[in-house]
Amino acid sequence: MDFRQLRSFVQIVELGSITAAAERLQIAQPALSRQIQALEEELGVTLLRRHGRGVVPTDEGRTLADRARQVLDDVASMARDVAARDHRLRGTVTLGLPPTVAEVLATPLVAETLRLHPEVKLRIVSGFSGHVQDWLQRGTIDIGVTYQTGKVPLVRSHPLLLERLFLIEPAGSPEGPVTLAEALGRNLILPSPDHGLRRLVDRAAREQGVTPHVGLEIDILPTLVAFVLRGAGSTILPLVSVFSQVNEGKLVARPIRSPALDRTLVIWTPLTRQATRLTGPFMEMLNATVRRLVTGGEWPGTEL
């Protein structure tokens, strides 16, 4: 097994086609097929499954592709670090964010990267907290930001901010604080039980000894909010998710009290992947950006 075979295999998996990968790599298709065949023989497993439109990786193939990307990224990072002869930062940082966090953080973070480190390429991928944590454990991203869900193996963490949750109701609803028991008694529209926010709500309900009434389960945030706007029910969300609709008077956001309902946003880095010279400065910039958004009121309903 060598780097050439790994690069070729990753290209095939990403493009889903040996023909397309051969064109991208400027290698004859029979030669590329022989590389993969040799790799399969060496490992003793089938890596690709052929079909009419191209190829898809087997489970073993997906595992190899994930690990190969990590190895190739580490080699490229090592080369950049060794070759660097000045203090300018270069290279790629891959950041994983949950969708609600990406909405408020991604744009200012990209702008700050372009301003401070123009030669750094920031790659942002979005997924639920569980997905981001899985990418961290696999070592496929450099930094992850998720909501705290307990200890996660193979990663280190520190908290970024505390985010309050609000009862979000249609326009014309009463305003002002509401108790947690009252919020849980509403006709709620919430994500499915696999979603981190739903697990938090369900855990709070068990602690209160009540069963929340969930009329609809929707995992797509804009669709969930759209049904609240239509008066189909209420929901529980961070304020930033509906800040514009609340400001426009289309929705009412009611603080939850007795007890408050909140969650901690955490920054993670993988222990399975060696930190590059980009990781430290980028994390400092990320922390500073979050602090500016919170103190400036651009990330409402939060505290550092």
CATH number, position 55: 1.10.10.10
Q: Are residues 145 and 293 in the same domain?
A: yes
Does pLDDT of 16 surpass 80? yes
Peptide bond before 259: cis, by omega within 30 degrees of 0? yes
Q: Average model confidence (pLDDT) for the chain?
A: 85
Give pLDDT tens digits for 206-253: 998 888 889 999 988 899 999 999 999 999 999 888 888 999 999 999
Q: How confident is the model at residue 188 (pLDDT cuts 50, 70, 90)?
A: very high
DSSP secondary structure code for residue 9 in this structure: H
Q: Are residues 259 and 248 in the same domain?
A: yes
Taking the C-alpha atoms of residue 241 and residue 45, their distance in angstroms, rounded to an integer, is 46
Taking the C-alpha atoms of residue 33 and residue 35, their distance in angstroms, rounded to an integer, is 5
Q: How many domains does the chain have?
A: 3
Percentage of the chain exceeding pLDDT 70:
92
What is the arithmetic mean of pLDDT over 177-194?
Answer: 91
Per-residue pLDDT at 274: 61
Q: Are residues 225 and 103 in the same domain?
A: no
Per-residue pLDDT at 113: 87
Q: Are residues 86 and 147 in the same domain?
A: yes
Per-residue pLDDT at 79: 63
Spatial contact of 153 and 224, defined as CB atoms under 8 Å apart? no
Tell me which residue range forms the domain holding 241. 161-263
Per-residue pLDDT at 249: 94
CA 29 vs. chain centroid, Å, equals: 36
Annotate 276-298 with b (16+ C-beta within 10 A) or e (fewer). bebbeebbebbeebbeebbeeee
